[in-house]
Amino acid sequence: MFGAWGEPDHDTSIGIIHRALDAGINFIDTADVYSQGESEVIVGKALAGGRRDNVILATKFHGQMGVPASAPMGQPGGDPNRRGNSRRWIVQEVENSLRRLGTDWIDLYQVHRPDPDTDIDETLSALTDLQRQGKIRAFGSSTFPAHDVVEAQWTAAKRGLSRFVTEQPPYSILVRGVEAQLLPVAQQYGMGVIPWSPLAGGWLTGKYRKGQATPTSRRAGRVPARYDLSKPGNQAKLDAAEALAVLADEVGISLVHMALAFVLQHPAVTAPIIGPRTMEHLESQLGATDVVLSDDVLDRIDALVPPGVTLSRYDEGYEPPALRDPFLRRRRV
C-alpha cells in the first residue's frame, strides 16, 4: 500500500514502516509489481541507516513490469519478457529488486503466482542458483493451489533442488477456501504460512456495513470485482461483515482485532501480513497478537462463514487457466 497504489508520499510511508518496526514487527513483505517497483524503493529507504539487519525482508516476482502503475491488476499487455517465472526473468528481476531495495540480499524471494507456461523445475533451479550465490536466503510461493505446492515439493526432492519453504495464500474469515487443502498441505511439508489480506481487502475493517455507502479506495479501482455488489458472492460478504461486526461488539473487541486473531489462531499460520496505508490503519491493527478467541466465538464465526468456504471467487487471487479459457475445458471432436 505504499506508492502509487496507496500512500504516494514517501516520507509518510517510511514513517509507517518505522512505527511498525518500533512496535516489534520484524518482517516486511513487498513485491516488484506493487506500484511498479515504487513500493520496493520506499521499503529500501525505510531500512537504510542500520535497520536492514534487524528485518526479515521479503519480496516477490512474476507480475507484469513496465506498465503504468495506474493500470488495473491483470490487465493484458506489456512486454511478455518482463513477467513470469522463467529463469531468464528471475535472474534479471532479482537484480532490479536488490537495487530498488538497496540491499545485497533478499531473505525470502517469492513466486507471486503460478506460471502455467514455465515448468516448475526451471523456476526452482533458477531460485536454487540464486540461493547458492547468496542473493537470496530462502524462497517460497504465493497463492499456489495445493496441487502446485505438492508438485513443487516433489520436483525439488527429485531434482536435488532447494524447495519452497513458505506459502503466502489469501486467508481471512471471508476467504476460507485454503482451509480445505492448502493449509493442511503446508503443514505436512513444514512450510511457513504468511497469509495476505487477513482483513479481506478492507471488508473486515468495520467500514463495510449494510445501509451505508460503500467506501471508495484505490484498491477497489485496481480490483473492482472484489467490491462490486452486483458480482456473485459480494453481497454475502456484506451480510457476513455486518454479522461479524455485531459479534465483535458483543465480544468487546474491534472487528479488525477479531479478524486478525482468527487468522493467527489457525495452527498452520505463521503470521498474517497486514497492509496499512495510513498510520491510523497500522495503529488499529497493532495489539491483535494479544487477542485469543474462545471456542465459542470461533464456533459462531464458523456458523456465519463455514470452514473451507470462500464467499466470492474474486478473492481467491488466482484463476486457473482452465477457468479463463474455454478451449482448455472442452473436448475437441
Sort strands 106-111 and 192-193 into parallel, antiparallel or unpaired.
unpaired
What is the spatial distance between Cα 179 and Cα 185, in angstroms, rounded to a whole number?
Answer: 10
Active-site pick, 34, 109, 208, 227: 34
Q: How far apart are CA 273 and CA 200, in angstroms?
A: 11
Distance separating alpha carbons of residues 285 and 181, to the nearest angstrom = 28
Q: SS3 for 219?
A: helix
Cα–Cα separations (whole angstroms), residue 237 to 92, 263, 284, 302: 40, 17, 22, 14
| Spatial CA neighbour of 128 closest among 100, 159, 150, 154 | 159
47 and 55 in contact (C-beta within 8 Å)? yes
Q: Is 318 considered catalytic here?
A: no
* 299/236 Cα distance (integer angstroms): 19
Burial of 301 (0-12, 13-18, 19+ CB in 10 A): buried
Q: Give the residue among 42, 71, 28, 329 at the shortest CA–CA distance from 83.
A: 71
CB atoms within 10 A of CB 242: 16
Active site residues: 34
